[in-house]
Structures are given as structure tokens and as C-alpha cells.
Amino acid sequence: MAGPSQDSPVLATSPQFKENARRAMADPGLQKALTTAKGAFLQRRAAAVGRLPEFERLREIGRDIKNHAIANLDFYLETYATNVERAGGKVHWCSTPDEARAAVLKICRDAGARTVTKGKSMISEELGINDHLERHSIAPIETDLGEYIIQLRKETPSHIIAPAFHLNREDWEESFRQMHTDLPKDRVFHERRDLLTEARSRLRGKFLAADVGITGANFLIAETGSSVIVTNEGNGDLTQTLPRVHIALASIEKCVPTLEDATSLLRLLARSATGQDFSVYTTFSTGVRREGDLDGPQEYHVVLIDGGRSDMIGTEFQDMLRCIRCAACMNHCPVYGATGGHAYGWVYPGPMGAVLTPSLIGVEKSGHLPNASTFCGRCESVCPVKIPLPNLMRHWREREFERHLRPGALRTNLDIWAWFAKRPGLYRAATRLAIGTLGLFGRNKGAFRKLPLAGGWTEGRDLPVPQGGTFMAQYKKRQRAEALRR
């Protein structure tokens, strides 16, 4: 696979992952938010899965459906596009983020748009649509509650389904007071509900005034030419119902053959994401307002984006195209739980981001991400479409190593280790010596708080003093004891 065919229009701080992570772990506000949020997702998912005995079987079905769709993606995309056009819609095929941004801008300009409402869409973040529209004097308005506050604060989402995962209630209050200046300064937010109500009334008018509504798509259905969105707030539906023009942004791997296929995947999606049995609004849009209809958009556009996906087909990373963006992997990831999403430095955080980001913006910029994993395997165990995430991260590590992208010291140390490992006699002698020495120095301590040459390691934890010899020595002793017993 060649590198990504196009530079990302969104600035990536992934090369600074280590500094990002350090800063994140020292940020008390972020750590508080992470602690509040983490447990809720895990419990809700576990409960939802517990209520559906067929869940494991459905994961296999979900995997197979997506594999079938990708193996025939060219056919299904063409069928999908034909059906969209039959329903009065238009499909804009875009290879690169730049083409997609240009397509969106042109549709908005042709519509004479001044304001554009938006439903939550990760591909829109990938394209940097908001910046692009603003630069051309069109005002984008995020309407998902989490995206709305992120936009007010000029931040980026830190989680793919809960964009404001990193914020506490105090942050919301502060931003609302700062930005909604026409409301009384001394108003009190007694409960979270008061924040919700204020946002709702702010945004109601925006929905009505917007000339264009932009949403993402969770699925595209070839059989019917439909785009599907899944939301709880209803903002996505208002966005695609009220303005005269609806634009659905979708990457190519969202396409599945039939309603039945989408339905099986929907049984997995909400349970894996929020731990709901089903999201509040699951909506299938097919073309333009029909004759006699009293509402709905008069224009329906699908901006269909490749953005580096087709390059993943036929490589070891093809499995990643099954991803349905539920966020279960990051919700269950100890690294994400410690650093939050912004540390990852680009659009997609967590394990899925650690695999996808190198594919889309290049491993030379994001090589730290597949290394930021303990390989505990929880991500793979909860993935609704069974993506072998740790394996895919391992593939990136191998590629990075092959391409000499790792620092010299690391390579040298690995080389030294490999030299010993290939000589078992020497290796055992050396470990015996090391353990013996450490045991001698630490015999009165129990643990080392500091060690020469290992300052980075002992900074965050203590090293227990070795006891009872090397693994091989203990193993041999036990073998001998067992032989005697027999």
C-alpha cells in the first residue's frame, strides 16, 4: 500500500502523542471528566448485551455482512448510486477530502446558503468542512448538543459518539454564559436539564433559518438508495427535514446491500455504543420530497468520499473497513481512559483510531498511536464486527519498524535483546546475573522507587525486587520436583 493519497486538511498533532498524553494525564479537569464518564458506558453496554442472548452470534453475522459488502463494494456502490438518482438525488463521487470540500461548497453556493445546520458526522471532521465553509462566508452550525459546545469552544470532538466526553458541567456553564450574551448573566443552571433547555431554544431558530442541512450517514443501502442516520436527540432529523437542501456525507465503506443487512448491524450498533437496545431515531432517507408531501428537502445530495479507504482494500488493514463507529473499543481501552481522545491528535481516537489514522494520514505522522496499546485485547473482545484491532496495531508496528521510523536507541536496544535471545545460554546467564544483582541491592526494600537507566519506567511505578531466581531457574526447579513426585 502506498501512503495516503492526499494530505489531511485537518491538522494532526499525532506526532506529538507522547507530549499530548503527558499533558492530558496532568490535566485535573480532563481526568475528572474521564472518571465520571468511563464507568457509565461499560455498565450500559454490558447490560444491553446481557439482555440479548443472541449478541455473540449477531457479531459474527455483522462481520460477515460487512465482509460481503466490501468484497463486492464496487457493484454495491454503483447500485446504490443508481437508486439514489432514481429517487431524485445526486451522488457526488469524491476521491479526496479536497474534492469533497469543493462539492459541499458548490452545493451550498448553488443553494445561496448563508447558514448550514449540521448533524453529527465524523467524516465531516475528517474533511474539515466547518473551516472550509467559514472561509467562504457560510456559517456552519453544529446541532448535536456535544458538537454544539465543542463548536462554541473552538475545540474538536474527543470521542466519536460523545464529542464532549472531556468536558465537565462547569465547562458547559462557563461556555454558555460566555457565548449566549443576550441572556441574563445571573441566570442559574440548577440542573443539567437547564443547559439542555437553553441549547434547545437557541438551536430551534437555527434549524428553521438554515438553507442547507448536512448530516453524516451510518449506513448506505444499495437496494433502496437510502442513507441512514442514528441519533438520540432528533437534531439530525431536524437537520435533514427542515432546510430546502439535504447533503449526506458518507465514506464508501458505509454501503451495505439490503435493509435486512442494515437491520442486523443496527441491532449491534446502539448496544455497543450507548448500551441502548435501539437509538431513539433511526432514519432512512431516500431522495427528495415526493409529490403531495408537506415537508422534507427539495434537493438531496450524497457526497460519497473515498479519502484513502480504497487503498486499504486488499491489504492487512481491510478488516478495519468493517468498523461501524460505535466507540466500544475506546470506551473499553485503558489508554483512551487515561489520556482521553485529544491526545491521539487527529479525528479518530482510541484503538480504532490507532489503526485507521496511519492508513488515512500516514504512519510516519501517527506511528505512536499503534504503539499506545497494552495489547490487553478488550477492544477486540467488544468490537461488534470482530475487527482484530490488536493484530492490526501490530501490523503497523511491524511496518514502522521495517521503515526505520523508530528512534535509534530503541532499535539498538531491540538489537541487543535479539542478539541475546538467539543465544539461550548467554541469555540465561545474563538474566541470572541481573536478577541476582537486583535482589542483592533490594533485599531490604521490597521495591525500587528509582533505578539507573530506567527513570522513565520508575517515574510512574515501583519495580518489585526480584525473588526466587529467573523464570527458567524456577521452571527447572518445579520440573525436578514434579519428576521426583512421580
Q: Which of residues 70-109 bind another protein (CB under 8 A)?
A: 71-79, 81, 83, 86-88, 93-95, 99
Shortest distance (Å) from residue 258 CB to another protein: 4
Total residues interacting with another protein, rule: CB under 8 A: 107
Find the binding residues for another protein in span 172-211 (CB under 8 A): 172, 192-193, 195-197, 200, 203-204, 207-208
Q: Does residue 36 interact with another protein by CB under 8 A?
A: yes
Q: Does residue 417 interact with another protein by CB under 8 A?
A: no
- Which phi and psi (to 5°) does residue 210 adopt? -65, 145
Which of 13, 168, 371, 431 binds another protein (CB under 8 A)? It is: 168
Complex with another protein: residue 146 or 351, whichever CB lies closer: 146
Render the burial of 389-425: b for 16+ CB within 10 Å, e for the rest.
bbebbebbbebbeeeeeeeeeeeeeeeeeeeeeeeee
Find the binding residues for another protein in span 242-301 (CB under 8 A): 242, 252, 257-261, 263-264, 266-267, 274, 276-296
Find the binding residues for another protein in span 301-320 (CB under 8 A): 304, 306, 310-315, 318
Angle at CA of residue 14, ends 10 and 19, nearest 5°:
130
Shortest distance (Å) from residue 104 CB to another protein: 14
What is the DSSP pairing of strand 115-118 with strand 139-142? parallel
> What's the CA gap between 293 and 235, in Å, rounded?
21
> What's the CA gap between 308 and 96, in Å, rounded?
8
User: Could you count the other beta carbons within 10 Å of the beta carbon of residue 36?
Assistant: 12
Shortest distance (Å) from residue 69 CB to another protein: 10
Shortest distance (Å) from residue 103 CB to another protein: 9
What residues contact 269, with CB distance under 8 A and at least 6 apart?
218, 230, 279, 324, 326, 384
Q: Does residue 53 interact with another protein by CB under 8 A?
A: yes
Shortest distance (Å) from residue 57 CB to another protein: 6
Shortest distance (Å) from residue 334 CB to another protein: 18
Q: Does residue 241 interact with another protein by CB under 8 A?
A: yes
> What's the CA gap between 15 and 26, in Å, rounded?
19
Which of 54, 402, 415, 482 binds another protein (CB under 8 A)? It is: 54
Q: Does residue 226 interact with another protein by CB under 8 A?
A: yes
Residues in the chain: 486
Residue 330: name the closest of 344, 358, 351, 354 by CA: 351
